[in-house]
């Protein structure tokens, strides 16, 4: 997760060096003849066995390796990006079917914990992968993620602030977002607007940005 964020903030040689280093933790697997790749998490979190998976990292890194392919033309980068995208079609537990659509899970072992920023970061990473590689599976996954956000965003809205996550079979609020995560929700919603051109998502971003102003905080520049 931290590596994918670091890559997002990097350019040029540093960006490519981060991806070269990250390859060392990549694992390739096969499902029904389909080759896919995962970045297992090598630390214990909430009692999960080491090796759990995170859609945040999978989708985000698929986009980063797609960008690396665009920059370098290296087929290895394209292969990694495509293989990471394939992981969403394999039995990895990254995707949860909900009443609102497919949700991309931050923790594949917490099946009823729906964390908004992870879903949107994954969704936008898949869009970036499609933009740089033209992979049609990435486009379908991106559209799924956007559709779920459209149908579910109100669950994260208290009317005066956003929730970090919703949980359980009834999708009840888990806890309010910190100010930093609320700002992230604003920016991610706006990025969905920029990726789709649909002002529906711009309006979500503007509404949530207004909550900052109501609290006497500076709004995000979106």
Q: Averaged over 147-153, what is the pLDDT?
A: 98
As to burial, measured by CB atoms within 10 angstroms (0-12 exposed, 13-18 middle, 19+ buried), residue 2 is exposed
CATH number at residue 110: 1.50.10.20
Asked, for residue 138, whether it belongs to a domain, the answer is: yes
pLDDT at residue 172 greater than cutoff 90: yes
Q: What is the pTM of this model?
A: 0.93
Asked, for residue 92, whether it belongs to a domain, the answer is: yes
Asked, for residue 100, whether it belongs to a domain, the answer is: yes
pLDDT over 90 percentage in the chain: 89
The domain in which residue 63 lies consists of 2-177
- Structural domain total, the chain: 1
Burial 85-117 (b: 16+ CB within 10 A, else e): bbbbbbebebbbeeebbbbbbbbbebeebbbbb
pLDDT at residue 44 greater than cutoff 90: no
Asked, for residue 110, whether it belongs to a domain, the answer is: yes
Q: Averaged over 142-161, what is the pLDDT?
A: 98
Q: Averaged over 5-12, what is the pLDDT?
A: 66
Residue-level pLDDT at 4: 57
CB 92 within 8 A of CB 104: no
Asked, for residue 184, whether it belongs to a domain, the answer is: no
pLDDT at residue 102 greater than cutoff 60: yes
Q: Angle of helix 199-214 relative to helix 136-152, nearest 10 degrees?
A: 50
C-alpha 100, offset from chain centre: 17
Strand partners, 96: 103
């Amino acid at each position: 997760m931290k590596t994918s964020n670091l890559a997002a903030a990097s350019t040029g040689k540093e960006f490519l060096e981060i991806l070269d280093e990250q390859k060392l933790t990549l694992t390739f697997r096969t499902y029904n003849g389909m080759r896919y790749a995962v970045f297992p998490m090598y630390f214990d979190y909430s009692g999960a066995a080491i090796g759990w998976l995170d859609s945040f990292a999978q989708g985000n890194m698929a986009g980063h390796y797609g960008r690396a392919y665009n920059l370098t033309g290296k087929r290895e980068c394209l292969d990694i990006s495509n293989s990471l995208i394939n992981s969403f079609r394999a039995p990895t537990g990254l995707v949860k079917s909900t009443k609102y659509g497919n949700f991309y899970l931050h923790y594949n072992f917490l099946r009823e914990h729906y964390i908004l920023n992870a879903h949107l970061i994954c969704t936008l990473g898949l869009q970036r992968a499609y933009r740089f590689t033209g992979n049609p599976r990435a486009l379908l996954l991106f559209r799924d993620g956007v559709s779920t956000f459209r149908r579910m965003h109100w669950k994260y809205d208290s009317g005066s602030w956003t929730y970090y996550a919703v949980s359980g079979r009834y999708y009840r609020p888990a806890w309010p977002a910190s100010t930093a995560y609320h700002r992230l929700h604003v920016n991610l919603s706006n990025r969905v607007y920029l990726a789709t051109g649909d002002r529906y998502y711009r309006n979500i971003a503007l509404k949530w940005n207004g909550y900052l102003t109501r609290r006497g905080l500076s709004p995000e520049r979106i």
